[in-house]
Amino acid sequence: MNPSTLFSVLILLPALSLAASAAFVPSSPAANNEQVSGNASRGQVIFDGKGNCLSCHRVADQGSYMGPDLSSIGDTLKPEELHKTLVSPDATVSPQNRLYRVITNDGKAITGRLLNQDIHIVQILTSDAHLVALKKSSLRSFDFIDTAPMPSYRDKLTTAEQTDLVAYLASLRGVIKQ
């Protein structure tokens, strides 16, 4: 196993062991004192299927590490904020969740989430959960991408589907150890 792979495994082990020893429990939107219209069960079907949200996000032990973990998003954002993020992600995605792109001196582009950097090294987690560590001296350029990686669902989902998806996201209250 090369050092990069080993380091990748060591970084992901705590997250994977937490997921294995915990169960995800969605709760009622009333726990946030917010009235949410829509059907959370239908919203989960959209999240898992048509929305393809797990290709970038995680909920409990499922999904990708590329985007933020949404297991507790119902505790963090109000339903109207969740809806705004669905239809206008560029306006709402925080800087730490923007993608980072490096271009090597030989022209190869690598994109992922910035994990760490110092004066010598840049570390990126790629969409396929590989840790890439590169010397800055081997890079032509490196910086955040200005646009959010998340697509807008304004025209991809109907209004009813958006409402159901928001209801599901608002119900996400975290992982409870068993």
Cβ contacts of 80 within 8 Å, gap of 6 or more: none
Q: What is the pTM of this model?
A: 0.69
pLDDT at 148: 84
78-126: pLDDT as tens digits:
999 999 999 999 888 777 778 899 999 999 999 998 999 999 999 998 8
Q: Which residues of 109-126 are buried (b: 16+ CB within 10 A; e: fewer)?
A: ebbbbbeebeeeebbbbe
Whether 26 and 173 have beta carbons less than 8 Å apart is answered as yes
66/170 Cα distance (integer angstroms): 21
| 3-92+154-177 and 99-144 in the same fold | no
- Identity of residue 4: S
pLDDT at 149: 84
Cβ contacts of 128 within 8 Å, gap of 6 or more: none
CATH T-level assignment (fold) for domain 99-144:
SH3 type barrels. (2.30.30)
Q: For the chain, give every domain's residue range.
A: 3-92+154-177, 99-144
For the chain, the straight-line distance linking the first and the last C-alpha, in angstroms and rounded, comes to 33
| CATH architecture of the domain with range 3-92+154-177 | Orthogonal Bundle (1.10)
Residue 165 has φ and ψ, to the nearest 5°, of -65, -40
Whether 131 and 68 have beta carbons less than 8 Å apart is answered as no
The total of other beta-carbon atoms located within 10 Å of residue 42's CB is 16
pLDDT at 21: 31
Rounded to the nearest angstrom, the gap between the alpha carbon of residue 94 and the centroid of all alpha carbons in its chain is 11
30-87: pLDDT as tens digits:
445 567 889 999 999 999 999 999 998 999 989 988 888 999 999 999 999 999 999 9
